[in-house]
Structure 1
Amino acid sequence: MDETVKSAEAITQQCLQHFDVNWLINRAAHGLREAMDAEANAHGTSIRGHIVLTALVQNDGRPYSQLALGHALGVDKTTMTALLDKLERSGLVVRTPDPNDRRARIPVITEAGRELQAKLYDLLKAVEARVLDPLTPEERETLRSLLRKIIPMEHVEGSCM
């Protein structure tokens, strides 16, 4: 084994033994995000694209402006515009004029977007199950419960993606 790889593994082991919750949560999130992004990429989008599609499905009937959607997901307007551009080019979203503000656009999920969101939702649940496989079902629920306790319910600045 290459000395650089051995050194990196040793550093990782030291970090895992340390009780730095921020590092542990971020490493766990990074691994899960990478696995989910690979699955989403295999289906023509990204995990961020899936999160946007999911937000649009969950908010069905109450349209978000592009700006409000970005705010709800903690994504700046430039990044949201780029995400919606990709989703629109793929036929997953269309943007319609906001009847209350001619400068604003309202992203609306298409039928193809709904189908992909539903398909990816199931596939991403399977990815999550693989990543969390080392945990017992009780440990998985404990993890979810503990994370819910430390995540504030009011709007939090910063991206959820």
Structure 2
Amino acid sequence: MIGAMNAPVDPGCVSRAGLNWLLHRAAHKLGSVAQDAAARHGITTRGQLVLSALASEEYRRTQLALGQALGLDKTTLTAELDRLERAGLVVREPDPTDRRVRVPVITERGRTVQAEVEELQVEVENDFTAGLEPAEAHCLRALLERLIVADHRPGSGSCL
């Protein structure tokens, strides 16, 4: 089965494929290499997504708010935070306004790992889009961001 994934794609199939298939196929190709980059640091792509959100936060979010912002359901986010916490990359602190609620906070070690994985993932993305002109790669990203932001339908399950 792995050989089939690496086989050349038939241009006739691609030209007739729906947007869903095209996006999934591109995401799979990019995602498997990005996952390998994250795994070199003992985390998953989802873990990197969580660390990146926590590293860039100007304010603290509860676990529930973080999950909603990232498109991760409660069970998936909790399991990921458990892994990141065991690895010493995040801690969960009580919310000062509601002690029943936890707020995930990235540790210094988590910031280091996040920055190293981000660097690897930028290399992976640059390699993936190497066949595009820089303006095309920028346009692709901008269009995907617009599609995601413009779609106000509720998400279904986790984004990763």
Is the TM value for this pair above 0.5? yes
State the distance in 2 between where 1:9 and 1:123 align: 25
Q: Which moved more, 1:84-93 or 1:94-103?
A: 94-103
Structure 2 gaps of 5+ residues are: none
In structure 2, the residue matched to 1:149 is 146
Residue from 80, 83, 89 that aligns with 1:92: 89
The match for 1:44 among 5, 23, 42 is: 42
Instruction: Give CA deviations for 1:86-132 in whole Å, capped at 9, x if unaligned.
Output: 00000000111112222211111000000111111111000101111
Shift in Å, 1:150: 2.1
* Secondary structure class of the residue paired with 2:159: coil
Matches within 5 A, 1:1-161: 12-13=9-10, 14-60=12-58, 62-153=59-150, 157-158=155-156, 159-161=158-160
Whole-Å separation in 2 of the counterparts to 1:28 and 1:100: 43
Unpaired segments of 5 or more residues in structure 1?
none
CA separation in 2, counterparts of 1:153 and 1:103? 34
Displaced runs of 4 or more, over 3 A: 153-156
Matches of 2:128 and 2:37 in 1, distance apart? 13
The C-alpha deviation readout for 1:55-98, integer Å capped at 9, x for no partner, is 001113x1111111111111111111100000000000011111
RMSD (Å), alpha carbons: 2.1
Q: 1:58 to 1:24 in 2, by over 3 A?
A: same
Letter in 1 for 2:25: R
